[in-house]
């Protein structure tokens, strides 16, 4: 009922014309026609209007000190390969290597051993593996399990900013409203640990473009991390690292029950 009230208020406030009403019906029809099990243009509309992030904010309020969540996005594919501590997620060259490492802790500071970190990212062609039929399906994705002290590490590549799929009606909406389709560079993570709420989040590259204008409103300042260049004699260089850059991302999970990840369909 509230939706109807707000819809009526909107129509009255803007004094909607018949031509505008027809244009609205047309774009919603096109969004419906474009949506199937591979491409969910309605979710992309929700993302680009900021509705997905508002639902996330309402649903995933976290206590002080816990890591914040952000959107899942359409490129998550369950069942990534389990990989060894430090292993590269790049199956083929995809950009400069970055040692991503950190710990997973509970809100009370206890390290969480055996937690799972499910990661996926794009490479320097700006694509996720699932967007490219010719790409090995396990490229730039993997699952890692934390060690006894809650630590994890993997070798990623430096993510690049990329445009969301903008070849459909949502792209037209963005252009018509003078907006760009870009997301700032990030690595996706889902952290799961028994007795804790699962966390769906990103680690944003603090030096990326578009941090202040993410087209899906997904940036939270607490999720930005700097990629540090690590020359061999750098005293702060993490000990096991074999590459020239590192990014530290510690995660703090809230006690609670795991919730299933809502994967509504891909936008590939």
Which residues form the interface with ligand BEZ (CB under 6 A)?
44, 47, 71, 73-75, 164, 183, 216
Instruction: State the Cα–Cα distance between residues 186 and 25, nearest whole angstrom.
Output: 35
CA-wise closest residue to 147 among 117, 121, 188: 117
Name which of residues 60 to 99 contact Fe ion (CB under 5 A). Answer: 73
Residue 216's binding partner out of Fe ion, ligand BEZ, none, with CB under 5 to 8 Å set by partner kind:
ligand BEZ
**Helix 41-48 / helix 51-59 crossing angle, nearest 10 deg:** 80
DSSP annotation of 68 reads P
C-beta of 170: minimal distance to ligand BEZ in Å? 9
C-beta of 156: minimal distance to Fe ion in Å? 13
Name the closest residue to ligand BEZ (Cβ).
Answer: 73
Q: For ligand BEZ, give the closer residue by CB, 141 or 192.
A: 141
CA gyration radius for the chain? 20
C-beta of 157: minimal distance to ligand BEZ in Å? 16
Instruction: State the Cα–Cα distance between residues 176 and 165, nearest whole angstrom.
Output: 16
Q: For Fe ion, give the closer residue by CB, 72 or 193.
A: 72
C-beta of 11: minimal distance to ligand BEZ in Å? 28
Residue 6 has φ and ψ, to the nearest 5°, of -65, -35
The site for Fe ion (CB under 5 A) is made up of 73
């Amino acid at each position: 009922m509230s939706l109807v009230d707000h819809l009526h208020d909107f129509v009255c406030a803007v004094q909607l014309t018949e031509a505008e009403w027809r244009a609205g019906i047309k774009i919603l029809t096109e969004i419906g026609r474009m949506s199937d099990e591979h491409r969910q243009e309605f979710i992309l509309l929700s993302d680009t209007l900021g509705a997905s992030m508002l639902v996330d904010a309402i649903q995933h309020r976290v206590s002080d000190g816990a890591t914040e969540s952000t959107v899942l996005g359409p490129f998550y594919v369950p069942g990534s390969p389990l990989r060894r501590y430090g292993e590269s997620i790049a199956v083929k060259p995809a950009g400069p290597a970055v040692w991503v490492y950190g710990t997973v802790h509970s809100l009370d500071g206890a390290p969480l051993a055996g937690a799972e970190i499910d990661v996926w990212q794009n490479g320097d062609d700006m694509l996720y593996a699932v967007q490219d039929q010719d790409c090995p399906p396990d490229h730039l994705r993997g699952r890692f399990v934390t060690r006894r002290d809650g630590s994890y590490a993997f070798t990623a590549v430096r993510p690049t900013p990329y445009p969301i799929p903008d070849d459909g009606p949502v792209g037209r909406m963005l252009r018509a409203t003078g907006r760009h389709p870009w997301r700032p560079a990030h690595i996706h993570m889902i952290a799961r640990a028994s007795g804790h709420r699962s966390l769906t989040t990103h680690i944003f590259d603090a030096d990326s473009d578009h941090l202040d204008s993410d087209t899906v409103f997904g940036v939270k300042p607490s999720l930005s991390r700097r990629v540090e260049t690590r020359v061999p004699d750098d005293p702060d260089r993490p000990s096991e690292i074999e590459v020239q850059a590192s990014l530290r991302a510690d995660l703090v999970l809230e006690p609670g029950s795991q919730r299933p990840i809502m994967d509504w369909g891909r936008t590939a």
